[in-house]
Amino acid sequence: MTILSRHLILGVLSLSVSVAIAAPATPAASDSAETKSVSTPTTFVAEEVKSSGNATVNGKRLDYDTVAGTLVVHGKGWDDVAFNKDPEDKSVPAQASMFYVAYFKKGESAAQRPVTFIYNGGPGSATVWLHMGAFGPKRVVTADHEHTKPAPYSLINNDSSLLDASDLVFIDAPGAGFSRIGGKDREKAFFGVDADAHAFAEFISQFLGKYSRWNSPKYLLGESYGTTRSAAVAGILETQRSISLNGVILISQVLSFDALPDYPLYNPGNDLGYQLVLPTYAATAWFHHRLDDTRPVEAVVADAEQFALGDYATALLAGNTLKAEQRHNVATKLHALTGLSVAYIEKANLRVGPGMFEQELLRDSGTTVGRLDSRFTGAAMDPMSKESEYDPQSASISSAYVSAFNTYARDELKYGNGRSFKLFADTHTWNWSHSPPGMETGGDLTMAPNLLPDLAAAMKYNPNLRVMLNTGYYDLATPFFEGVYEMNHLPVPSELQSHVETDLYEAGHMLYAKESVLKSLHDKVADFISRTKH
């Protein structure tokens, strides 16, 4: 398992359907051919399936039109004029057929109506999570922090759909969901930080033209690696395409990968990740009653934050020069905050990674805690293992989301029959190098891209751009304090710092998995859009 896959692997309706769908131009674009190496030209064409429906949002009926379809984008450097000049060239440049589901509220002026582009992360994840769990007009019912029972699953009206505040466009990454890639060097063209951002920027540009939304208030909403993508796409749209955004909405953020808690293991000497994950350890230990502390979780977390930036930081900076007495004192304090034994913490040299914590916290009961949501628990695969070997939350809810979306897409959106749905693209060749604004090349950033400069550039270029961070206490994949730290180190002038707002929730990586939190998330995001759309 790669470093990133450990923490990022991963938002009452009636329909009347009218179909206008174009088939792929050649058999090579069919599902049976997509799983094979492309050795002959492949041409994708845009598709569109229209339908309509209604939902109840915040207790009020809302009627909408839906489009499920694809737009075709090409890799960076594509030149259609140059390509068409050489009729003897039989090779086809890399291209992607990017699948989307768009919801347009009826009776609204397109020029005044906000439009929000929504995607999950992965990288290479389909956008079933935000679609079927958070903001679409329907959502799948899953257990809060217990294992969800197998099918049949319940797909219900989503009273917290964001459709009351904005038109919504859910987008599958190239190669994921119903999106497909083809042509020469297709993985290189789309599987990478910069290549992926280019594809999404191109998709958004095309969408604005196809549906006459150039003059609409515009938002990006990404989760997990989707926040990384949002920073890159915002930079491209603002500085290269003259497309100004009203807001960027981030859920479970990761922009500076060096700050993730897994990275110190592979990059010794950089201990920042251990500091930033500590408050999540404290919240998790508190939730599972492993602390001698009956105060609210906010108070426990506040103590952990102070210690992380104070004595703990000092001890880690000392490295091998730390005195034995100081080392023991720090271990004792860490024990009080994490519930782990002093002996275990000392044996770990004061540096406990997330996988270690997940396995160790409840080891005495043969149980491991969740990574995406540390409130979840499951039987340890190997009770003697150093680290947890799976994520109990992912095991609990993934089937429900995949089953619900496949049923919804085929039965109600009338899209996908005869095609396979891919929860994740095969992104093992993902290129992690990144070229921040102002740099000709990304340099040696393959293992730790940093998108803070991209988001900062977008905000400087467009001083009206607002940013909203939403993050949960129980997220061990992208810890909430990491997101706070990143926002506190965003390289923008003082007058723009107030343009960033942060909201914390008693939830994990997928904030919306808990219904009460979903309601709160909807209300805060809807308010953010209302305040920034003019």
Three state DSSP letters for 340-381: CCHHHHHHCCCCCCHHHHHHHCCHHHCEEECCCCCCCEEECC
Output the CA–CA distances (angstroms, integers) from residue 134 to 354, 441, 512, 515, in the order listed. Answer: 26, 37, 6, 9
Do residues 465 and 244 lie in contact, with contact meaning Cβ atoms separated by under 8 Å?
A: yes
What is the model's pLDDT at position 517? 95
What is the model's pLDDT at position 81? 54
Residues 350 and 420 in one domain: no
Residues 223 and 285 in one domain: no
The two three-digit tokens of residue 347, written as one number = 């044996």
Instruction: Give the count of domains, the chain.
Output: 2
Residues 526 and 382 in one domain: no
N-terminal to C-terminal alpha carbon distance within the chain: 45
CA atoms within 13 A on the CB side of 325: 0
Low-confidence ranges of the chain (pLDDT < 70): 1-42, 79-90, 439-447
What is the model's pLDDT at position 309? 97
Residues 356 and 480 in one domain: no
Residues 330 and 352 in one domain: yes
What is the model's pLDDT at position 250? 98
Instruction: Mention every residue, 6+ apart, whose C-beta is less than 8 A from residue 452.
Output: 231, 255, 256, 486, 489, 490, 491
Neighbours of 13 (CB within 10 A): 18
Residues 386 and 459 in one domain: no
pTM assigned to the model: 0.90
The two three-digit tokens of residue 90, written as one number = 């039989």
CATH code (residue 433): 3.40.50.1820
CA atoms within 13 A on the CB side of 116: 29
Boundary of a domain, candidates 373, 393, 413: 393
SS3 43: coil
Q: Which of 441, 436, 402, 404 is nearest to 422 (CA)?
A: 402
d(CA 52, CA 387): 48
Residues 445 and 409 in one domain: yes
Boundary of a domain, candidates 370, 393, 416: 393
Residues 43 and 180 in one domain: yes
What is the model's pLDDT at position 417? 92
What is the model's pLDDT at position 340? 98
Do residues 308 and 275 lie in contact, with contact meaning Cβ atoms separated by under 8 Å?
A: yes
What is the model's pLDDT at position 438? 72
Boundary of a domain, candidates 372, 393, 414: 393
Residue 123, preceding bond cis, omega within 30 degrees? yes
What is the model's pLDDT at position 235? 96
Residues 113 and 224 in one domain: yes
d(CA 287, CA 474): 9
Residues 376 and 406 in one domain: no
Residues 370 and 481 in one domain: no
Residues 234 and 382 in one domain: no
Burial pattern 66-91, b for ≥16 Cβ within 10 A else e, equals bbbbbbbbbbeeeeeeeeeeeeeeee
* Identity of residue 344: Y
What is the model's pLDDT at position 447? 60
SS3 16: strand
Indicate the Cα dihedral angle 511, 431, 390, 179, nearest 10°.
60
d(CA 195, CA 204): 14
Segments forming the whole domain that contains residue 75: 5-259+398-532
Q: Provide, for the chain, the percentages of residues in helix, strand and coil under a 3-state DSSP scheme, each rounded to the nearest 5.
A: 40, 20, 40
Rama region for 480: left / alpha / beta (φ>0; ψ in -120 to 50; rest): alpha
